[in-house]
Amino acid sequence: MNDSYLNFVNSPLGARVARSLGLPKPEVLRRYRADAPEFDGIAAVGAGPAPQLLDALAGVIAHLGITSVAHASAGLWVPLANRHGLMTGRFEPTDPAAGSQARVKALVFDASGIDNSAQLDTLYAFFHDALRSLDKSGRIVVLGRPPESSTNPRQWAAQRALEGVTRSLGKEARRGIAANLIYVAPGGEGGIESTLRFFLSPRSAYVSGQVVRIGAAHPAFAADFDWTQPLAGQRAVVTGAARGIGAAIANVLAAQGAHVIGVDIPSATDALDATMRQLGGTALALDIAAPETPAQLAAALDELGVDVVVHNAGVTKDKTIAKMTEAAWRTVIDINLSAQERIDDALLEAGTLRDGGRIVCVSSISGIAGNLGQTNYAASKAGVIGRVQGMAPFLAARRITINAVAPGFIETQMTAKMPLALREAGRRMNSMSQGGQPADVAQTIAWLAHPGSAGVTGQIVRVCGQSLIGA
Ligand SMILES: NC(=O)c1ccc[n+]([C@@H]2O[C@H](COP(=O)([O-])OP(=O)(O)OC[C@H]3O[C@@H](n4cnc5c(N)ncnc54)[C@H](O)[C@@H]3O)[C@@H](O)[C@H]2O)c1
């Protein structure tokens, strides 16, 4: 759906009106486009004491082909960057008084060695100097160690403090800048590329204020691995693929090389067929909640198996609980939660979902924060979060990951139907002051489905522009 306020304040006249009235001016976010370079510009690198991830970072930056500059805090960066063949120089802060332009696309800070609160000063020094130099739609990535891997409480506190810094940076930076924190478990250093790429890329335009953990599982890639087609040769099932977010997921997974099997209810067959035809996928008209569907789906996929399962289909039947019918309660829990459980059971039992596969579920910020009139929906979406957390350890033995995305306000037919005041509130109450696009959710799912994301499991990643709701 069209955000006419965003379009207006980004026109020459609208920008003048917004400035004179002091109105917020949401940025037109830089999103991924196949015809524009995904990575360009300069990344400024800073570090706390004894950084442990700079080497892995240098490897990724070299791979992305971007230039780096070293902040004074990142003493080790220059020799490392030289070793990895990166062009590097010293970071020179932009002087706003001199009117010079912001010129850095990303700020990356390695905080992995910080082990007491006094050392947090290094974050202050870096971001105090560097934040003004960050371009519109720029990226902030802070790298740390999971607090729970700390050897003492002071280290735990200092690593946990990174969440507060990063989330606040996301709220302060504005101008379409996203700030995220990646905790890399000891042993996970070799598995950071898919995640770092995502958070430095325009693909993560609407993901901010998130904390992601990378475990020790290591993907091994051949030197000629094609990062533009990471899902080449894979098969992906997407439920609710006829329209909205599901159609966007199908499109992005197909663009990354997957053969997509789109599932939707029989009454949506025409739309499903059209979507699948356009991306060369296969349409399967099935109601995910029907008792026979899990077996039918497993049988349809059985011969070739499947690598990625995306549980996207979902419905709302909103009413306050006093007015809600039992049928409305049951239908929503059954479609949004129980059907996913039955389908995964069938695909896992039959071995249809291959070892090393990926399950990605679509939750919602309603499942995190609750929402008026949505006891059924919020229960189902919170249940999805529990399912992800509960299943991840059991699936690890088969190297299958399971994660969820929790979208905030996404511009779809569903949100277009909301009353105007609620819709405007939903759109603006986030650090980006705008709604997300279905592609923002789809790109996040593609990162979780990536073969390189083997160390990312049991996680809930919000795609909400850092919504204030449930923050
Ligand atoms: N739009 C948002 O702002 C938003 C926010 C948070 C979460 N979500 C979630 O994202 C997912 C997609 O939402 P959307 O906005 O694209 O919704 P949508 O209504 O546009 O699309 C949902 C699709 O799922 C299909 N579907 C519904 N019941 C089904 C069933 N029993 N079997 C098979 N297919 C079924 C529908 O036919 C439809 O094609 C849902 O799980 C929704 O709860 C959306």
Residues assigned a catalytic role: 377
How far does residue 194's CA lie from ligand 1's centre (Å)? Answer: 27
Whole-number pLDDT of residue 422: 83
Whole-number pLDDT of residue 117: 98
How far does residue 424's CA lie from ligand 1's centre (Å)? Answer: 21
Ligand 1 binding pocket includes 314 (Cβ within 6 Å):
yes
How far does residue 247's CA lie from ligand 1's centre (Å)? Answer: 10
CA-nearest residue for atom 20, ligand 1, is 244
| 5 vs 24: CA distance, rounded Å | 10
Least confident of 5-14, 227-236, 439-448: 5-14
Long-range CB contacts (within 8 A, 24+) of 75-78: 75/47, 76/47, 76/51, 77/45, 77/47
Domains and CATH numbers, the chain: 31-214 (3.40.50.720), 235-463 (3.40.50.720)
Indicate the pTM of the whole model. 0.96
What would the pLDDT profile of 177-188 be if each residue is shown by its tens digit? 999 999 999 999
What band does 98 get if pLDDT is binned at 50, 70 and 90? low
How far does residue 239's CA lie from ligand 1's centre (Å)? Answer: 9
Ligand 1 binding pocket includes 413 (Cβ within 6 Å):
yes
Ligand 1 binding pocket includes 367 (Cβ within 6 Å):
no
The secondary structure of 242-287, three-state, reads CCHHHHHHHHHHHHCCCEEEEEECHHHHHHHHHHHHHHCCEEEECC
> What is the chain's mean pLDDT, rounded?
94
What band does 93 get if pLDDT is binned at 50, 70 and 90? confident
Tabulate helix, strand, coil % of the chain (nearest 5).
Answer: 45, 20, 35
Distance of CA 433 to the CA centre of its chain: 18
Cβ burial 406-422 (10 Å sphere, 16+ → b, else e)? bbbbbbbeebeeeeeee
Sign of the C-alpha dihedral computed for residues 233, 237, 241 and 244 taken in this order: negative
Whole-number pLDDT of residue 368: 97
The best mutation among 414, 440, 464 to test binding of ligand 1, ranked by most ligand atoms within 8 Å of the C-beta, falls on 414
What would the pLDDT profile of 329-343 be if each residue is shown by its tens digit? 999 999 999 999 999
For 128-172, the DSSP string reads HHHGGGEEEEEEEEEEE--GGG-SSHHHHHHHHHHHHHHHHHHHH
For 112, 121, 257, 463, 465, the CA distances from 207, given in Å and listed in that order, are 22, 26, 23, 5, 5
Return the higher-pLDDT residue of 99 and 440: 440
Whole-number pLDDT of residue 3: 80
On the question of pLDDT at 99 being above 70, the answer is: no
Least confident of 14-18, 46-50, 367-371: 14-18
3 state SS of 210: coil
How far does residue 89's CA lie from ligand 1's centre (Å)? Answer: 48
On the question of pLDDT at 405 being above 90, the answer is: yes
Which phi and psi (to 5°) does residue 358 adopt?
-135, 135
Q: Please state the rounded mean pLDDT for residues 293-316.
A: 95
How far does residue 293's CA lie from ligand 1's centre (Å)? Answer: 18
410 DSSP assignment: B
Query: What's the one-letter identity of residue 206?
Result: Y
Residue 363 burial (10 A CB sphere; 0-12, 13-18, 19+): buried
Q: Which residues contact 372 (CB under 8 A, 6 or more apart)?
A: 320
CA-nearest residue for atom 1, ligand 1, is 410
What would the pLDDT profile of 33-49 be if each residue is shown by its tens digit? 999 999 999 999 999 99
% of residues, the chain, pLDDT over 90: 82
- What atom of ligand 1 comes closest to residue 414's alpha carbon? 15
| 168: nearest Cα among 466, 470, 409, 434 | 466
The secondary structure of 31-63, three-state, reads CCCCCCCCCCCEEEEEECCCCCCHHHHHHHHHH
- What atom of ligand 1 comes closest to residue 438's alpha carbon? 16
Ligand 1 binding pocket includes 384 (Cβ within 6 Å):
no
What would the pLDDT profile of 164-176 be if each residue is shown by its tens digit? 999 999 999 999 9
Whole-number pLDDT of residue 101: 53
Q: CB-hemisphere CA count at 13 Å for 161?
A: 19
Q: Please state the rounded mean pLDDT for residues 351-363.
A: 97
Return the higher-pLDDT residue of 410 and 222: 410
The best mutation among 245, 340, 341, 463 to test binding of ligand 1, ranked by most ligand atoms within 8 Å of the C-beta, falls on 245
On the question of pLDDT at 420 being above 90, the answer is: no
Which phi and psi (to 5°) does residue 212 adopt?
-120, 140
How far does residue 316's CA lie from ligand 1's centre (Å)? Answer: 8
What would the pLDDT profile of 100-110 be if each residue is shown by its tens digit? 555 899 999 99
| 161 vs 156: CA distance, rounded Å | 9
Q: Please state the rounded mean pLDDT for residues 85-111.
A: 81
| 144: nearest Cα among 178, 176, 181, 180 | 181
On the question of pLDDT at 97 being above 80, the answer is: no
The best mutation among 3, 315, 444 to test binding of ligand 1, ranked by most ligand atoms within 8 Å of the C-beta, falls on 315
On the question of pLDDT at 349 being above 60, the answer is: yes
Ligand 1 binding pocket includes 315 (Cβ within 6 Å):
yes
Whole-number pLDDT of residue 10: 81
CA-nearest residue for atom 19, ligand 1, is 414
